[in-house]
A and B are shown apart, each in its own frame.
Chain A
Amino acid sequence: MTAKSKKRRILHASPTYYDESSVVGGGEKYVVYMARAMNREIKNVECDLLAFGPKPGRYVIGEGISCQVVEGEAWNPASLNAEALRAVLLNYDDVVIHQALCGFGLFIAAHAKALHKRVYGLDHGGGEHPITRHTPEVGRLFDGFIAQSDFCASSFSDLDAPVAVCLGPVDTDWYTPGPRQTRSKNVVLAVGRLLPHKGIDRIIRALPEGLTLRAIGSRYDAAYFAYLSELAAGKDVEFIEGLSDDEVREAYRQVGLVVHASTHTDYLGRHYAKPELLGLAPLEALACGARVLVSSAGALPELGAVTGCGVFESEDELASLLESYRDGVMASPSDTLIASSTAKLYGPASFCRSVADFMDIQA
């Protein structure tokens, strides 16, 4: 095998991994999507995952992607061991660090760079170490940053490293419209962890009579859930937990409208700088051909470029749009058109073209 044809070994490092034993969230899912997309779409790469947890070991996550778990507390750089980390990093050419700006990310990046690996960083909203705002020099740890949206690109403004916007990826091979069937016309779906910045309360307040809201997602905040329950009194709202990915996809395929109402200011007035850096759940819904309404928070308005995705600025506007939907006067492109538009802009192929170009990988 010549040097040219040798596969680039790429390690995706993330504090946590997408599994019930770790965290089932968009950030974790994104890592799997990205690694899977790169393995499928770029012939010269081989991606593995690295995460941290109490039980070290090697796991296989979907389609043969190897995930090595090294002992340590996710998110706590004070629990990580340099020697163990370096032993893993040595086996790779490139290191892609998810949650690159927090202490965890800097720890990985610093060792990867000291070992002269090509280092790329992504932000999934996991916070920033203060030093990232103190000196642009931290940017030198990275050969570049990959931003999954224009909004996300702004995360790296303080750092001295190139940034590429690579939209997506959403797994449009798995999230697809279902067999031809009628979508329910009086149900609205909201998918995401029940956290204040996800703005489920905004949907409940805007929900008109005659519509049912199904909120799918795990409870992570008891006070917020109590607030939602109180708000839902007298309205047709269902909270559903514990669905599998298959069941969520089926819900996307059946529902007439999905709403994603994330917000920079939650029900208690708290501010969130980065409530959405991509919007994976609405993208999955769009990939299944569902119509979607997204708020104007974070990167969500960028999804408005996808056919079938509308953007609302306020709760009043959301209420008005929901009434239009209930009354059957909302424009309704075909599932196929919505799905193909999603794949074109956010699918693995377009994402990987951008990534391969940025990382200088022969696609």
Chain B
Amino acid sequence: MKILFISNVFPPGFIGGYELGAFDAACELNKRGHEVAVITSDYFTDDASELVDFPVERSLACNAISHDFPIRDRAAEVKTYMDWGNIRKIDSAITRHQPDVIIAFNIAGIGSAGLQSYLRDCGLPVILYVMDNFFGEIAKDSKAYSEFKRVFGPLSLGTRSRVIAMSRNVMREIEQYIDCPRSSVSYIPGWIDTTKVPSEVRQSAEGGAKFVFCSRIAPHKGINLVLEACSQLSKSGQKDFQVDVYGSGLVTDFRQQVKFLGLNSIVTYKGSLPKEKMLDAFGNYDALVFPTWEREAYGFVVSEAAAAGCIPIMTDGIGASEWFIDGEDCLKIKRSAEALSSAMRDVIKATPAERTQRRNAAMSSAKRNLSTPRWMAELEQQCLTIAEEVEADRARPRSVAASYLGLGELWKESF
């Protein structure tokens, strides 16, 4: 099969799990003999060292990249709704690659609403791979969006699009923008390459418990709550634990906070490790602390840590929590420093044997339920199914792109 991937960002540069997920999926489907091509933005440059197996075109314009990096340019804001230039380049990629299936990963910042509508109309089978709410930057009550809906019509899947989502949690957000019939949606969790994690749980050390935080160093991922929980534990006299922090982001703020709270002897910043090294490193810890925001679409780090035998302590309700059982292979908490410190205390107070037992349960669940081969086979099957079910209309994309050129002009005139 010929498969065209669309993603706002594509490795080697990445922001988070969404881009890495797109990368994994492209590599896996390519390995399985499919002809993969990728179109992405030039937000990150490619050093040409990583990707040699399939073409990656970095021609799209990415107008926004993150919810915590506000857009201050009105023209760029408009283009986050609909960017004709990007539609034109994708239209060109479709014409050149003639894909049997298109998989759209993160389309935030590249004109998500217009692009989704274009993909709906382009005549080809399309899978929207939802790992986050890529419509999130759209202000639902803005004049621009109400005019968008009037001019282009409400967002809808049409007859040729399907959705693969990481969780019901993220679908609840997406469905505030687009109606997705239940029969069009299937779920694939955050997968983990089980060959790259420790094969067995490493014994927990005697004495203190070892925790790990590995995510973007930013408030929405819960780093502040981690520090607050550590401070509470420390103040209550609990000293026999360590927290190692991995990741990038607001590192300066984080380090200043560690010093301010007097946590230097407990919390250690370890920088960012390459993915393979991090997968191994998770095996050295008893538990992952991940008090991320409730709207977390999934949280790949949960699958990765669990597969390495590191008990996930995570916010209840996030995408990953849908795939684990509280008290058995994970600990689900309310998103607060108190709840986190309480869960951490449980781990600290457990005997090494009890910790090892829980860590075994986490590893076993993750390896059984979340392995890459299992879910890549499912993705491949979804591609084959949609290609078979949906009658492609290859004459359409070019003229449909022209439709969006005309409608885009009328839309811009209207506000």
Residues of A with Cβ closer than 8 Å to B? Answer: 77-78, 80-83, 86, 103, 106-107, 109-111, 113-116, 129, 131, 135, 137-141
Contacts and interface: CB of A to CB of B under 8 A. Distances in A.
A107 B407 contact: yes
B393 A138 contact: no
Contact of B403 (A80, A114, A129): A114
B154 interface: yes
Contacts of B398: 140
A131 to B, nearest CB: 5
Contact of B405 (A78, A111, A135): A135
Contacts, number: 70
A171 B152 CA distance: 38
B152 to A, nearest CB: 6
Interface residues of B, number: 25
Interface of B: 121, 123, 149-154, 393, 395-396, 398-407, 409-410, 413-414
A131 B405 CA distance: 9
Contact of B414 (A78, A114, A135, A137): A78
Contacts of A138: 402, 405-406
Given A114-B121, A116-B396, A83 B153 contact: yes
Contact of A82 (B123, B153, B393, B402): B153
Contacts of B406: 106-107, 109-110, 129, 131, 138, 141
A24 B402 CA distance: 33
A131 B409 contact: yes
B415 to A, nearest CB: 9
Contacts of A110: 402-404, 406-407, 410
A111 B151 CA distance: 9
21 contacts: A77-B413, A78-B414, A82-B149, A82-B150, A83-B154, A106-B406, A106-B410, A107-B407, A109-B406, A113-B399, A114-B121, A115-B121, A116-B123, A129-B406, A131-B406, A131-B409, A138-B402, A138-B405, A140-B398, A141-B399, A141-B406
A152 to B, nearest CB: 21
Contacts of A106: 406-407, 409-410
Nearest to B118: A114
B123 A107 contact: no
A36 B405 CA distance: 33
Contacts of B154: 83
B393 A116 contact: yes
B144 to A, nearest CB: 13
B153 A86 contact: yes
A82 B409 contact: no
B402 A140 contact: yes
A113 B153 contact: no
B204 to A, nearest CB: 59
B413 A137 contact: no
Given A78-B414, A82-B151, A106-B410, A137 B405 contact: yes
B152 A77 contact: no
A81 B151 CA distance: 6
* Chain B CB within 10 Å, residue with most, of A110, A113, A116, A141: A110
For the residues of A in contact with B, the DSSP-based class is: helix
A137 B406 CA distance: 9
Contacts of A86: 153
A106 B413 CA distance: 13
Given A138-B405, A140-B399, A77 B121 contact: no
A80 B406 CA distance: 14
B325 to A, nearest CB: 44
A122 B277 CA distance: 65
Contacts of A107: 151, 406-407, 410
A135 to B, nearest CB: 7
Those 6 A-B pairs whose CB atoms lie nearest each other, nearest first: A140-B402, A82-B153, A110-B403, A114-B121, A110-B406, A106-B406
Nearest to B154: A83
A63 B23 CA distance: 62
B85 to A, nearest CB: 13
Contacts of A129: 406, 409
B213 to A, nearest CB: 47
Given A111-B403, A113-B399, A138-B402, 9 more contacts: A77-B413, A78-B410, A80-B150, A82-B149, A82-B152, A103-B410, A106-B410, A113-B403, A139-B402
A113 to B, nearest CB: 5
Nearest to A86: B153
A107 to B, nearest CB: 6
A337 B34 CA distance: 71
Nearest to A129: B409
A336 to B, nearest CB: 47
* Chain A CB within 10 Å, residue with most, of B395, B398, B399, B406: B406
Contacts of A141: 399, 402-403, 406
A320 B79 CA distance: 63
Given A135-B405, A141-B403, A81 B150 contact: yes
Contacts of A80: 150
B409 A113 contact: no
Contacts of B396: 116
Contacts of A135: 405
Contacts of B149: 82-83
A112 to B, nearest CB: 8
Contacts of B413: 77-78, 103
A83 B121 CA distance: 14
A69 B228 CA distance: 64
A83 B34 CA distance: 37
Nearest to A130: B409
B240 to A, nearest CB: 63
Nearest to A105: B406
A131 B407 CA distance: 11
A113 B402 contact: yes
B413 to A, nearest CB: 7
A132 to B, nearest CB: 9
Contacts of A114: 121, 400, 403-404
